[in-house]
């Protein structure tokens, strides 16, 4: 399989290198295009007001892996790979392994998810994979799971341009309880800006805050039809699955239209404009 790997932790990140080495060892053709530095929480930002530069990297990776360091965002990396660096389009785009969770509403800010989403936008199946810890540095269970996921078309539908957001609990492989298909939960933050002074006496602010993860019922929109809420209620939220020690797989799409509200909104008596 022809695989493009990117991330938002940078070209030298251990999680990405572990993933690339694992997939190359399994016989896949691996191309790596990653930011030249950490670009976490950049969302789906693109570089349009300055040049994007790419430098071939040889000393870090196995000889069969082609790798570039890119000056742009994670989304830039995938765009550049598809449009200029790769000879043939990949079968799948894999972004990660991110150092830290991408659960619930994290996906709106995540550079990891955005890199994978760029593949989905181009009609290429994609996976974003994250280890749900900032301190744990054992990426082997997550890399092993992605290798297994890609080994069977029964598990990974390559005919569909899906984005699977995969989160792996920070546990030893033997302690992971299994895998669950999940829905996007709620992972909000109580934002706090700490006011500080720099050495020159000028004020700056540092964004901090406390995570508010959801309970099982949170995130079910009361405006949804009752039968839809019942179906969705039967699927665990991603944060809930991780809390119980399971790998979570959440299917995502880039179309954010609130389709269940279209019928109601279409009945509005809209004002004549211009009057």
Single out the residue of 116, 140, 131, 101 nearest to residue 33, CA to CA.
116
Closest CA to 80 of 41, 123, 114, 34: 34
Boundaries of every domain in the chain: 2-182+234-260, 187-222
211-248: pLDDT as tens digits: 766 544 555 666 667 777 777 778 999 999 999 999 99
Instruction: Write out the two tokens for 176.
Output: 């992971």
> Which tens digit of pLDDT belongs to each residue from 137-177?
899 999 999 999 998 766 666 667 789 999 999 999 999 99
Provide the pLDDT for residue 60. 86
Torsion sign across C-alpha atoms 146, 149, 151, 156: negative
Residues 6+ apart with CB under 8 A from 268: none
Q: How confident is the model at residue 203 (pLDDT cuts 50, 70, 90)?
A: very high
CA distance 169 to 242: 6
CA distances from 9 to 30, 33, 111, 207 (A): 18, 12, 9, 19
CATH fold, domain 2-182+234-260, is: Stationary-phase Survival Protein Sure Homolog; Chain: A, (3.40.1210)
Q: Compute the distance between CA of residue 137 and CA of residue 16 in angstroms, rounded to an integer.
A: 12
Q: Give the pLDDT confidence score for residue 96 in this predicted structure.
A: 94
Cβ contact 130:182 at 8 Å: no
Higher model confidence: residue 127 or residue 231?
A: 127
Distance CA(111)–CA(42), nearest Å, equals 5
Q: Read off the pTM.
A: 0.91
């Amino acid at each position: 399989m022809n695989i493009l790997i990117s991330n938002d932790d940078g070209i030298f990140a251990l999680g990405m290198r572990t993933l690339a080495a694992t997939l190359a060892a399994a016989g896949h053709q691996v191309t790596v295009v990653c930011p030249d530095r950490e670009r976490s929480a950049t969302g789906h930002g693109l570089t349009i007001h300055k040049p994007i530069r790419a430098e071939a990297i040889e000393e870090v990776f196995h000889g069969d892996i082609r790798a570039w360091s890119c000056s742009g965002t994670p989304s830039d990396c995938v765009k550049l790979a598809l449009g200029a660096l790769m000879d043939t389009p990949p079968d799948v785009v894999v972004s990660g392994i991110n150092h830290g969770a991408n659960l619930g509403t994290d996906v709106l800010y995540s550079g990891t998810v955005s890199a994978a989403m760029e593949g989905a936008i181009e009609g290429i199946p994609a996976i974003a994979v994250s280890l749900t810890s900032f301190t744990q540095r054992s990426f082997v269970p997550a890399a092993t799971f992605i290798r297994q996921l890609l080994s069977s078309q029964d598990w990974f539908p390559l005919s569909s341009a899906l984005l699977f957001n995969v989160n792996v609990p920070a546990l030893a492989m033997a302690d992971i309880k299994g895998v669950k298909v999940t829905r996007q939960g709620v992972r909000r933050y109580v934002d706090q800006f700490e006011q500080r002074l720099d050495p020159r006496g000028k004020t700056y602010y540092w964004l901090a805050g406390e995570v508010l993860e959801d309970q099982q019922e949170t995130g079910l929109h009361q405006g949804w039809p009752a039968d839809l809420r019942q179906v969705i209620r039967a699927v665990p939220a991603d944060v809930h699955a991780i809390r119980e020690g399971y790998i979570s797989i959440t299917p995502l799409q880039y179309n954010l239209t609130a389709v269940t509200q279209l019928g109601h909104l279409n009945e509005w008596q809209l004002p004549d404009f211009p009057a």
